[in-house]
Amino acid sequence: MGLLSARAVVPCGACSACCRFRVTPVGHEELAREHYAAEVVDSGGPLGRVWALKRTADGACVYLEEGRCSIWERAPAVCRTFDCRKEYARRPRPERRRMARSSTHWKAVFAAALEHLAPKETVCGP
């Protein structure tokens, strides 16, 4: 399965926390192929200035419409492969705490990850 068809299997439901990141980077090849609404922004991290999907005034991705991704079938690779549970699990607790304190976006993503990682209660019997 190639990168273009790979999709993380995440039980997102109505969650759109990852669609509200400050920066959603997009590769040059993807930009040329898909013609996303993108702009050059400072990532605020080690990547420096990158091409990223444009944001609305409230910080959400411009492709987030009525709580759903409007370009799901052709979403950038970073969107197709993102799994909040893996992001949560791969980071040590102090790093998660620091990230959650510094960014409401990471706080929401980690909360979503915990929701998806928590064992669901089952009701047996009447």
Residue 51 CB neighbours (<10 A) = 18
pLDDT tens digit sequence for 64-79: 999 889 998 899 988 8
Q: Rounded mean pLDDT of the chain?
A: 84
pLDDT tens digit sequence for 82-122: 899 998 999 999 999 999 998 888 899 999 898 888 765 54
In the predicted structure, residue 52 carries a pLDDT above the cut 60:
yes
Closest CA to 30 of 81, 61, 75, 70: 75
What is the domain partition of the chain in residue ranges? 14-82, 83-118
